[in-house]
Structure 1
Amino acid sequence: MPQIDITLAEGRTPGQIRNLIHEVHAAVLRTADTRPQYIRVVVREVPRTHWATGDVTLAEHAHQEQQ
């Protein structure tokens, strides 16, 4: 039973998330020799203030780019 966990910074539309789930499901179905009902896709959205790279949050980085 494949389970795919995806973590993204928040900010995508519900439609974008739904498309992502669909495309990932289709890719696993094509390549993992499993049944569709066994594929699990979990999408977690993280606030941009809670995700940092190099001690700079994504929110801070976006603010710096706007200046």
Structure 2
Amino acid sequence: MPTFRIELFEGRSLEQKRAFVEAITRATCETLGVEANSVDIILADVKRENWATGGRLWTDSDA
């Protein structure tokens, strides 16, 4: 039973999340030969103020 925990910046729409988990599930089933109902995906929305790269918060970034 593969389980994925994916952290991403908040702000994605419900439609985007649906498409994302469907694509991950499909790729997992094709690659690992498992049934879709055995694939768990946990999406964790993270505020940019709680994520840093290279010692710099994303809220302080130009990107």
**Secondary structure of 1:42's partner?**
strand
Partner of 2:11: 11
AA at the equivalent of 1:23: A
AA at the equivalent of 1:39: V
Give the number of the structure whose residues are more often helix, by fraction.
1
Paired residues in the alignment total 63
AA at the equivalent of 2:41: V
Give structure 2 stretches of 5+ with no counterpart: none
Q: How far does residue 32 in structure 1 lie from its aligned partner after superposition?
A: 0.7
TM-score normalized by structure 2?
0.88
Q: How far does residue 55 in structure 1 lie from its aligned partner after superposition?
A: 2.1
Partner of 2:31: 31
TM-score normalized by structure 1?
0.83
Q: How far does residue 46 in structure 1 lie from its aligned partner after superposition?
A: 0.5
**Once superposed, which parts of structure 1, at least 4 consecutive aligned residues long, lie more than 6 Å away?**
none
CA RMSD of aligned residues (A): 1.4
AA at the equivalent of 2:19: N
Q: How far does residue 56 in structure 1 lie from its aligned partner after superposition?
A: 1.4
